[in-house]
C-alpha cells in the first residue's frame, strides 16, 4: 500500500478536503482502501459527527484515532456498549460484514446469576420489538455461561455495587444485529445487562486492544471478504 506521500497530488488534496463518511467522487483515481479495528470505549458514539444538538458535546470516533477521510464504522455499538468496532473506507466490504450470517460475539455482565433455563431461553429466542416498533422474533443463537469475569479494564463508569446482589457473565453469539438486541434478550430472560462488550466479529477478535485503541489491518478475517 503506498504511503500518503506517494499518492498523486490530486488524491492527497482530495483526502484533505473530504470529511470522514464521505465517498470519493466518481471519475477520480481510486485511493487504496484501508481497514481498522477499534476498541470502542464506554461513552463514545459509533460515528464521526452528529446533527443532533444534544450529541454535539459527545465523544466521537475521530477523537480516538487519525482515521483517513471516507472511513465509516461497520455497524454500531450503542453509547453504553464497548468492544470491537470495525471501520473501513470500503462501502462494499462494510455491507458484506453487516450481512446476515456473519457472527458477532458479545460478553454481557448481567444482574443476577445465569441459569440453565435462561441459557435455553436465549438460545431459542424471544419475541421483541425493533426500534421502529415492529415485532420480530430473534433467531436461534449460541449462549454459554462464563465461569469467570473476563479480564477487561475497569469501565470508566462504575458498575453497580455488589451489595445489591450477584452478577454473572454470559457469552452470546448472534448472526443478526437488531437495535439493542443483546440487552433486550437478556432482559427478557430476567437478566438485565449491566455491561456489554463485543469481543468478535467474524474471525476478528478484540484481543489485546485497550479501550480507545485503534489498529490498522490488511483485511477482516472470516467476514466474507
Report the catalytic residues: 78
The reported pLDDT for the residue numbered 57 is: 78
d(CA 182, CA 180): 6
Low-confidence ranges of the chain (pLDDT < 50): 1-18
The reported pLDDT for the residue numbered 15 is: 42
All three cell numbers of 85, joined, read: 468496532
C-alpha radius of gyration, the chain, whole number: 19
The reported pLDDT for the residue numbered 58 is: 84
Specify the CATH architecture of the domain 104-201. Answer: 2-Layer Sandwich (3.30)
Phi, psi of 97 (to 5 degrees): -70, -35
CA nearest neighbour of 172 among 207, 137, 130, 123: 123
Specify the CATH architecture of the domain 4-99+204-217. Answer: 2-Layer Sandwich (3.30)
Average pLDDT, the chain: 87
125 close to 139: Cβ distance less than 8 angstroms = yes
In tens, the pLDDT along 110-137 reads 999 999 999 999 999 999 987 788 888 9
CA atoms within 13 A on the CB side of 218: 1
- Domains of the chain: which residue ranges? 4-99+204-217, 104-201
Within 33-161, where are the H helices? 91-98, 116-124
In tens, the pLDDT along 192-202 reads 999 999 999 99
Amino acid at each position: 500500500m503506498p504511503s500518503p506521500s506517494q499518492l498523486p497530488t490530486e488524491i492527497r488534496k482530495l483526502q484533505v478536503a473530504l470529511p470522514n463518511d464521505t465517498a470519493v467522487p466518481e471519475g477520480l483515481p481510486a485511493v487504496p482502501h484501508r481497514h481498522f479495528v477499534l476498541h470502542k470505549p464506554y461513552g463514545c458514539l459509533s460515528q464521526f459527527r452528529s446533527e443532533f444538538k444534544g450529541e454535539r458535546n459527545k465523544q466521537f470516533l475521530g477523537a480516538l484515532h487519525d482515521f483517513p477521510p471516507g472511513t465509516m464504522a461497520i455497524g454500531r455499538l450503542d453509547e453504553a456498549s464497548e468492544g470491537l468496532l470495525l471501520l473501513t473506507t470500503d462501502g462494499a466490504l462494510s455491507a458484506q460484514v453487516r450481512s446476515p450470517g456473519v457472527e458477532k460475539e458479545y460478553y454481557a455482565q448481567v444482574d443476577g446469576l445465569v441459569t440453565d433455563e435462561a441459557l435455553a431461553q436465549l438460545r431459542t429466542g424471544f419475541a421483541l420489538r425493533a426500534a421502529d416498533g415492529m415485532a420480530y422474533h430473534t433467531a436461534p443463537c449460541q449462549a454459554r455461561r462464563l465461569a469467570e469475569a473476563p479480564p477487561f479494564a475497569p469501565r470508566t463508569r462504575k458498575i453497580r455495587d455488589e451489595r445489591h446482589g450477584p452478577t454473572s457473565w454470559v457469552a452470546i453469539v448472534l448472526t443478526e444485529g437488531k437495535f439493542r438486541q443483546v440487552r433486550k434478550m437478556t432482559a427478557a430472560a430476567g437478566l438485565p445487562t449491566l455491561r456489554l462488550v463485543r469481543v468478535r466479529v467474524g474471525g476478528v477478535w478484540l484481543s489485546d486492544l485497550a479501550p480507545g485503541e485503534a489498529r490498522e489491518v490488511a483485511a477482516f478475517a472470516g467476514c466474507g471478504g
